[in-house]
Chains A and B, each alone.
Chain A
Amino acid sequence: MINARGPRGRGATGARTRQPASQVLKKLWKYLARYQWLIIAASLLSVLANILALLSPRLSGAAIDAILPGSVNFPIVIRYVLLMVLVAALSAGLSWLLSAMMIRLSRSVVKQMRADLFNHMTYLPVSFFDTHQTGDVISILSYDVDTVGASISTDLTQILTSLITVVGSFSMMMSISPVLMIIFLFTIPVSIMFTKHRSQKVRPLFSARSRMLGKLNGYNEETVSGLKTIRAYHQEDEFNDRFATHNGDATTATWRAEHYAVKTGPTVNLINNISMSLVSVFGSVLYMLGGITLGGVSSFVLYSRKFSGPINEFANILSELQSALAAAERVLGLIEMDVEPEDAPDAADVIHCRGEVEFRDVSFGYTPDVTVLHDVSFTASPGKTIAIVGETGCGKTTMINLLMRFYDVSKGAILLDGRDIRSLKRSSLRRQFTMVLQDTWLFDGTVYDNIAYARPDATREEVIAAAKAAHIHEMILSLPDGYDTVVTGSGSSISKGQKQLMTIARAMLLDARMLILDEATSNVDTRTEHLIRDAMLALQKGRTSFIIAHRLSTIVGADEILVMDKGRIVERGTHSELLEKNGVYAAMYNAQFDHAGPAA
């Protein structure tokens, strides 16, 4: 079996320490605050609904008081019965209105939370996406957000209703018999203390549940994305075994939380039932002493049941609230995650740039202790083509990451038209680049939309012209719906090379001053590559271009070739200069013609 404990343990909010409940509630209130009018209206409605609900025992009590063996006062009974029906109809109407309002409120909050989570993600540094499992994030966006939402829609109304019922029943009981109220002086504090004690114990268990479900989901999402490989190696059983560990952890965490939480309700119920027993015993004693009518005892008992109902509810809600708090903590953990450092306050917009790029003594490491680029310096004049070559892992892609400000340099500076790119707004800097990466990314949409992605205003003619230039037009026409064929996530009927050509067509639509080609044609066959060469050259024309490629044929025409090794530039010059030098580059170049070398 695969060792299930690995470095995969990083949860989306794993590093966060637990926030105190008051903090979490305060932050949640921010979401509710913008609906405060709705909440106030809902509170008023629920006061009304509860007053109505409280009226009905009074009404039935009054009706019963009019029912005496032998002398039933029918007119009074009928009057109260009609009032009861009226009150019931009104309270049903109100409670429907109330739940409609709460649904609106909770759905709006849930929607807002999801939007905030997603929007926040678009500001997170790209490293976030390298270290967090998609499934874990999905888990936050689905169960955690929904748990919070469910808690708002049900718990908030119930808390409101309960509070009002408690206060209402309390005053009603006070008006009937203050003496009997002494019983509650004992039972209420006991209920409160018990509930408080339980919720403190239960919350960490709910946190663990949310975390474990997130981890399980992270594993699921990852495995689903690798099913093809798992099938190829026939390792289904092993991945199922590993799933068993995650599944066990998640179900156990859920069980532990529930196991403790289920004790709260019945125990509080017990306290309430004991107080009801006490009420009936002492009520009878009081009746015998002539201090109360039988109808009075009956109403008191009914109110005490009404009273205990909400307290009971309250206890249940408090335990459910713990699960909502635990979920909210994970939601907030992601929303509060540090974003890409903000643009400097005086950051400038790049409107027109000439496209002069300078790396000045740039050093960089993804982690402070490992430097992957050492004192890299070079200048790309406007319109020139810079090729970067070197063994894999020598820091080529890192240079692109720095240029696009996915990361900022640790030392030195990168200048665009003489200005440090850190003094520019990220979004406007990135707009100056057109980029084709080796990692082809297509989304679930039509071929047309995928090509026009970066320029939604492009005309159909422009899109087709770009597709033709990238030599993908004919292939697109052969698809079942041509340009309107939907590219699905797995999209097995479109090959990797074809996807690359589509992303090249996408780039061709963009008009930016600078171009980055990072292994843009690595999966395209040489013949097609040859066919699109003119288009690629046209793409480079007038643009400052950075090209990373293993196929040296694509870079022979570069104005300057930088040969990298272990994060340093070891050779630089034009193709012919470097060949003359007969150094690292010459060896690499000659290797591709070394067809005497054996194949596998």
Chain B
Amino acid sequence: MRTLVRYLKPHFGHMGLQLTIKMLGTVAELFLPSLLSIILDECAPSGNMAGVWWLGLGMVLSALAACVGNVVANRMSTSITRQFTYAMRRDLFRKVTALSAAQQDRVTDASLVSRLSTDTYNVNNMVDRLQRLGVRAPIMLLGGICVSLTLDPVLTLVLIATLPLLAMTVIFTSRKGVPLFTRVQEGQDHMVRKVQENMSGARVIRALSRTQHEREAFEEVNEELSRRQRTADMTMAVVSPIVNLVLNTGLALVVLVGAYRVSVGAALPGTIIAFLSYFTIILNAMLSISRLFVMYSKGSASARRIEEILLMPEDLLMQEAPAHDSGAHVAFRNVSFSYNKHYDNLSHIDFEIGHGQTLGVIGPTGSGKSTLLSLLMRQYDPDQGEILLDGKPLPSLTRDELHGRLGVVFQNDFLMADTIRENIRFGREVSGESMQNAIDCAQAGFIRKKEGGLEFPLNVKGRNLSGGQQQRVLICRALAGDPRLLLLDDCSSALDFRTDRELRHALRERHGQATTIIVAQRVSSVMAADKILVMDKGRIIGMGTHEELLKNCPMYRELTLMQLGGEAV
């Protein structure tokens, strides 16, 4: 909670003012029963009609003041909540975008989504309610107690005696509540994951006639979530009845003790009547407070989940490291890496490429080609060895040095439900000319034929484009920033051969000065590269030009034979 309290700090001034106004309104409301008791105990028995009217007017004025005070204070508190939630969500989102790939894998996407949505919503509710009821209820409680103390201290003490019991009940249950509500939120994560799976796999699930199975699987998740919610709710549901019981018993004692006090002449019956009025206020305040604790338990379970993200240490920090300039643009020095630290996905990778050169990477499925690119972009840090960009180790580079003028296309890359233009621009400053060049180079002329051209709106994940069109939009994105370093991961797998060839041709013509790494399945995509890496099981098993590899790398030779036929070898 401490981290989130920080977000309230800038509003402490306003909250103080809001609290004061609320307090004034509440005090005005507390006058009502006092005035009432004067009317009934003094004016009425003595027949003072004028007093009755004047005090009646006083009651109406107090009621008005209470109303205005409450409305003003409530509005102030909604404004404070608005700013609080805005800032908390902003920082949570900022932190989510700043997580490293390893941290993201650990928390899981589904959990990030539910923390950004239901958890922030729960905290928003908690802060809002705490301000609105959290001031009123304790003041009503304290005020009620104070006024009743002045009415009759002995009777008040009877009521106060029940408070420790109430406090224990409330604190004990809310302490039990936090872990229960945490489990509810974890259930939300599972539900989010199930929905994500079903929305992305709708076609496959239908094609395999597995909708019934998915309904059952959702039913399980749903049942589990409902069960957890029920458990949490049931635990919290004991608070109100207990508070009610304890206070009402206290009240009965008050009447009894009051009777003794009246009999010994220490109190008047009217005092007991007024006391009963205050008692209703005290009871309602206590019930409000107990409900606040329920809200607090729920909110603080969510707050902890949010803080967990906010407090994650910054991963992949910058580190000073000596540069060793070898003239190469990109160099891997004996790099090994494992995702799960179980077996190496890359081992002892060692190569370099000069400025403006093209490196081809080819090898079987799962041989570590994509991982190589991930490491180069510092999505992860290698377990061993180092990677140099312009002779500088990656950890010594700022994000701008590392990612500025980088163009990349991943497999299964990210397209947003937005215009084609925004998907290509991707937040960068891109001139109209660069945009057109990128379209020409990526063989993406189809964009111009779409209705609205660049303004054509894409569906979710770009699903209203064919696979090949998606790839070409992604290539446009990579090229539009006039990259110095271009990383293409199997980016032409959905392109036909002719388009692929024209793309390669255009890349060479227009982006020949960019250092390019092409990961591909097709020999024809990499054969003209300055250097080709042949990878297998995370190792480099061949390195050289097409001609060299044909001679000394059997796997490469085999691939070429298979794909291009005998005359190529």
Contacts and interface: CB of A to CB of B under 8 A. Distances in A.
B82 A392 contact: no
A524 B408 contact: no
Nearest to A128: B202
Contacts of B105: 488, 490, 492
A69 B498 CA distance: 108
In the complex, the 10 A-B pairs of residues with the closest C-beta atoms, listed nearest first: A392-B468, A599-B528, A238-B427, A497-B365, A7-B457, A88-B248, A226-B414, A234-B403, A273-B63, A277-B59
B110 A2 contact: no
B11 interface: no
B186 to A, nearest CB: 13
Given A77-B259, A247-B90, A273-B29, A527 B524 contact: no
Interface string B188-228: 10011101111111111111111101110011001101100
B334 interface: no
B203 A439 contact: yes
B251 A277 contact: no
Contacts of A237: 427
B71 interface: yes
A191 interface: no
Contacts of B428: 233, 235, 238
Interface in A251-278: 251-252, 254-255, 258-259, 262-263, 265-267, 269-270, 273-274, 276-278
B101 A269 contact: no
B44 A287 contact: yes
Contacts of A213: 117, 121
A598 interface: yes
B272 A294 contact: no
Nearest to A498: B366
Interface in B94-113: 94, 96-99, 101, 104-105, 108-110, 112-113
30 contacts: A56-B251, A68-B262, A68-B269, A81-B253, A82-B252, A85-B248, A92-B244, A118-B215, A130-B460, A133-B417, A134-B196, A142-B114, A217-B117, A221-B196, A228-B410, A233-B403, A262-B132, A267-B67, A270-B67, A273-B62, A392-B496, A489-B193, A492-B105, A523-B493, A527-B555, A527-B559, A591-B498, A592-B563, A595-B564, A598-B508
B204 A437 contact: yes
A82 to B, nearest CB: 8
- Count chain A CB atoms within 10 A of each CB in B70, B237, B366, B497 and give the residue with the most: B366
Given A142-B117, A441-B204, A393 B213 contact: no
B233 A103 contact: yes
Interface string A58-102: 001001101111101010011011101101110111011001100
Contact of B365 (A88, A258, A490, A498): A498
Contact of B78 (A92, A258, A526): A258
Contacts of A223: 93, 97
B505 A522 contact: no
A298 interface: yes
Nearest to A106: B233
Contacts of A10: 417
Nearest to A131: B459
B467 A91 contact: no
B151 interface: no
Interface string A460-488: 00000000000000010011100000001
B426 interface: yes
Nearest to A516: B207
B528 A251 contact: no
Interface in B220-276: 222-223, 225-226, 229-230, 233-234, 237-238, 240-242, 244-245, 248-249, 251-253, 255-256, 258-260, 262-263, 265, 268-270, 272-273, 276
B116 interface: yes
B333 interface: no
A600 B504 contact: yes
B255 A492 contact: no
